[in-house]
Amino acid sequence: MRDKINIFYIILGIGIGIILTSLIFTLKPKIKYVDYSDDEIIKKAKELGMVSVKEKIELNEEKDKRETDEKEDTKEEIILFRVENDDTLTSVADRLLKKGLIANKEDFIQFAKYKEADKKLRTGDYKLEKNSSYNEIIKILIKSE
């Protein structure tokens, strides 16, 4: 009988403690709220090394234009590439990286998803130039024959 009374008082004490604690923090919270503008958030993100997808694509397109101008002056190496029936974007990116056609697998996958090319890959054999841009590679791989 005595154990039942002790348990009752313990549970009652815990309940009263929870109620008092929540009342104290409701009346005087120690939370500091800071409202940041969109510009401040973007500035902080850039300081941390984050880049938006749109900026990355614009940089890639500018790079593509420069590379296209350079390609006209030099003869490029052609590499044969095959897309199998059951290939995914990841497996295609792996093989492109192994053949030296792309520099970064994750960037290529992100770019292809942005261009919605991950669902449009066509099976077949392709001739790709060694220093082709991501955009050029994707255009070739989704082109229907």
Domain 52-142 class? alpha beta
3-class secondary-structure state, position 129: strand
E strand or H helix at 124: strand 124-129
Residue 57 tokens read as 């694509």
Q: 122 near 87, Cβ under 8 Å?
A: no
Q: 77 near 130, Cβ under 8 Å?
A: yes
Q: Whole-number mean pLDDT of the chain?
A: 83
Question: Is the confidence at residue 145, as pLDDT, over 50?
Answer: no
Residue 66 tokens read as 């420069």
Q: How far apart are CA 129 and CA 96, in angstroms?
A: 11
E strand or H helix at 139: helix 134-142
Task: For residue range 94-136, list pLDDT tens digits in order.
Answer: 998 998 888 888 888 888 888 888 888 888 888 888 888 888 8
E strand or H helix at 81: strand 78-83
Of residues 69 and 143, more confidence is placed in: 143
Domain borders along the chain are 2-42, 52-142
